């Protein structure tokens, strides 16, 4: 990823402050996130009323058998989109990894465990210095792998309960109720994770819209991705003015 320098207008005369921004996500990655976000939301919204079918609020939504059918159809359509996105993502990543066009920084390594421990030490006021990260912070990598795990479970368990007769031709029958249980429980885990963990990190800690805009400002780069900033610019990423302790 290269720093993208905006040419400074000749007549700016110091009144115009230019802010460098860094490309963080490609247009394809941004579309992938959009598709995932959309299908995830639709799946959650159409799945929860089915999970809690005996609850009053669910029966308010699923007020007729036809509505139940409609919501199941929507769920299945969204599932196809999610499946397509997951297949595209995994196959593209695999191919690019083997072509050495992907540096593999997203793969889990021992350093992540160390980063996690460091982060925890900082959070518990044991360490004074906030640990520095590369392009992806420990939390962002954790989010990524949590979704990889969750999506894998949801896709396999979802397909099993969508086509139970087909799969039990080869698989033991007991896998169907197990898949139903897993689909139901993993959905709750994912919902909790998105609502608490992910929305804290991208909305409350700071509004991070880089997955939509594709760019991250220099200020944010220096604050949150110190190692990446240094790698790209060769400059030390001492925190911006006024932010230092």
Out of 3, 35, 71, 178, the only residue in the binding site for another protein (CB under 8 A) is 178
The full length of the chain comes to 245
Please tell me the distance from the alpha carbon of residue 122 to that of residue 137, in angstroms, as a whole number: 14
Closer CB to another protein, 86 or 194, in the complex: 194
CA distances from 12 to 4, 17, 165, 209, 219 (A): 19, 8, 70, 28, 21
Tell me the C-alpha distance between 14 and 175, whole Å. Answer: 68
**In angstroms, what is the minimal distance from the CB of 70 to another protein?**
15
Q: What is the dihedral of CA 9, 10, 13, 15, to 10 degrees?
A: -10
CB of 120 to another protein, least distance (A): 8
Can you tell me whether residue 105 is helix, strand or coil? Answer: coil
Give the shortest CB-178-to-another protein separation in angstroms. Answer: 4
Among 31, 144, 200, 212, binds another protein (CB under 8 A): 200
* 89 CB-near residues (< 8 Å, 6+ apart): 32
> Could you say whether residue 80 binds another protein (CB under 8 A)?
no
What residues numbered 26-65 form the site for another protein, per CB under 8 A? 53-54, 59, 62-65
Q: Which is nearer to another protein, 59 or 233 (CB)?
A: 59
Query: Under the criterion CB under 8 A, does residue 226 sit at the interface with another protein?
Result: no
Question: Which residues contact another protein by CB under 8 A?
Answer: 53-54, 59, 62-65, 120, 122-125, 164-165, 168-178, 180-182, 185-186, 188-189, 192-193, 196-197, 200, 204-205, 243, 245
């Amino acid at each position: 990823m290269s720093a993208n320098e905006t040419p400074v207008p000749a007549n700016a005369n110091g009144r115009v402050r230019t802010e460098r921004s860094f490309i963080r996500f490609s247009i394809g990655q941004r579309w992938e996130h959009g598709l995932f976000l959309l299908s995830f939301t639709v799946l959650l919204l159409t799945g929860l009323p089915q999970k809690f079918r005996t609850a009053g609020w669910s029966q308010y939504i699923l007020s007729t058998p036809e509505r139940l059918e409609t919501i199941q159809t929507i769920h299945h359509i969204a599932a196809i989109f999610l499946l397509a996105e997951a297949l595209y993502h995994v196959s593209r990543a695999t191919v690019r990894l083997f072509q050495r066009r992907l540096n593999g920084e997203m793969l889990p390594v021992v350093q992540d465990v160390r980063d996690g421990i460091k982060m925890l030490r900082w959070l518990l006021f044991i360490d004074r210095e906030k640990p520095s990260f590369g392009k992806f912070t420990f939390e962002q990598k954790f989010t990524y792998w949590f979704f990889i795990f969750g999506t894998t479970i949801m896709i396999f368990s979802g397909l099993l309960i969508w086509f139970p007769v087909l799969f039990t031709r080869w698989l033991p029958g007991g896998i169907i109720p197990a898949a139903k249980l897993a689909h139901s429980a993993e959905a709750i885990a994912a919902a909790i994770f998105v609502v608490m963990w992910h929305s804290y990190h991208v909305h409350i800690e700071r509004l991070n819209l880089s997955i939509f805009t594709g760019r991250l400002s220099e200020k944010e780069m220096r604050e949150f991705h110190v190692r990446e900033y240094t790698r790209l610019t060769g400059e030390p990423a001492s925190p911006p003015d006024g932010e230092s302790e």
